Amino acid sequence: MAERIEFLSWDFTSPTSPFTAAFDVVVANPPYVRESDYERLPKEIKNFEPPEALLAGQDGLDGYRAIQRRLNEWLNPGGRAFLEIGADQAEEILHLFPQANLLTDLAGRRRLAIIEQK
């Protein structure tokens, strides 16, 4: 299976994409922390993650908006995107991605959005 998987990393908010083809699967853990919540994060998070890996604008959704704008070009028909989401962002994510299926974590919080490309 290793020969069929390719891991890629780039700034997904960039207006240009380094890809020449679409994918069957996209997995992302975009930044989702609201600016107002950043100072209240535990030290074990703030001290080991750069702010740009955590912060996503005033409402914490800037990264998801960037993904929403480009997802059609990134996914093949029938492809799926798996996005980690903030514990309190389920309704906002469903507004951005009405077709999303949200899965819960072990604590019962909706933390994973699965979006299938039609």
- The tens place of each residue's pLDDT in the chain, 118 residues long, gives 778 777 777 788 887 777 788 999 999 999 999 999 999 999 999 889 999 999 999 999 999 999 999 999 999 999 999 999 999 999 999 999 999 999 999 999 999 999 999 8
Domain ranges of the chain: 21-116
What single letter denotes the amino acid at residue 99? Q
Q: Which residue has the tokens 């080991």?
A: 48
Q: Which element (helix H / strand E) includes 91? A: helix 90-96
Both structure tokens of 48 = 């080991």
Predicted TM-score of the model (pTM): 0.88
CATH class belonging to 21-116: alpha beta
